[in-house]
Amino acid sequence: MEITIDPPPDRGCGSAAILFSQAFEKIRLAGGGRLRIRDGEYLLGPLDLPGSLTLALDAGATLRFTDDFNAYPPVLTRWEGFECLAMHPLIFAQGARDIRIEGEGTIDGNGYAWWAAHRQKQGKSQAVKVLPADPSSPPSGGGGRETGFLRPPLIQLVECENVVVSGIRIRNSPFWTLHPVFSRRIEFQGLRIENPADAPNTDGIDIDSCEEVRIVDCLVDVGDDCIALKAGSGNQGVEIGRPTRNVTISGCTFRSGHGGVVVGSETAGGVENVAVSNCRFIGTDRGIRIKSRRGRGGLVQNLSFSNLVMDGALAPGLKPGSLPACSHSGKNP
């Protein structure tokens, strides 16, 4: 099955959302299909992707997401290594197989209002909405869990398999940009990921307790870590015990970012069998970084780095580091 969508005459969020919802339901009932998005701008709320889907964006197509925070209801997810209720990802797939997102178009998270709200909430130390932070949870990685304002990632894949995202431009994420969790056989190829250098916590790609991941020929220019390899946090992460392993990163270019390729800081399940090769780091704060908190747990092993070019990086080499100590429960020992 192939379905084609054109921009609705009404540019409001509701009209485009209905078109996508109807198309996804037809594809789900048919057991799979291809959805082509023609040139134009589509204002959307959160999307839930079915399995066996190819989402193809024409070169002039832009999916732009609403910055109405109330449009993103709480869902159970993993947020900075901790399973909890957080705002619905802009694009979400759970338990799905055989998904492709491809083409030459753009996915725009429209993150400006999210970043401004985050700065305000952190500055005032206010809790907002009804997403309670668990006081026994491990320390926040910097995203602001203590405020309760748990911004959504742009694309999150949970318990998914056989997913390819290729060719598109992804920009202005409210929080982490691409976040596969508990997933396997994931490929990111030829992507252009762009968030402003001062956009808080806008990592490019966060591989979180995943296996068999390939990241190839991507350009990443963001406001935090370009690629981060993670595996859960605190007692919960240790108990779940799912590592990130068998990851290949090659042919990528990293520009603005706190770190180019980073392990951690959420390492409870372990990170192993990672190969990084033929990549360029241009003006990145740190080239390769391994970071955690003493007491977080997790074995990091079998990492290889080859043929890397670093230009203007503040700390170009391998930089192991430790954040302030904590126990698995998040309390200072």
Active site residue 258: yes
Number of H helices, E strands in the chain: 3, 30
81 Cα distance to chain centroid: 12
Buried b (16+ CB within 10 A) or exposed e, 299-324: ebeebebeebebeebeebeebeeeee
Active site residue 328: no
> What distance in Å separates the CA atoms of residue 242 and residue 244, rounded to the nearest whole number?
7
Of 161, 170, 212, 211, the C-alpha closest to 190 is: 170
Secondary structure (3-state) at 67: coil
What tokens appear for 189 in the block? 């190829």
H/E stretch holding 57 reads strand 53-57
Among residues 88, 118, 179, 258, the one annotated as catalytic is 258
Among residues 224, 225, 311, 328, the one annotated as catalytic is 224
- Catalytically active residues are 224, 258
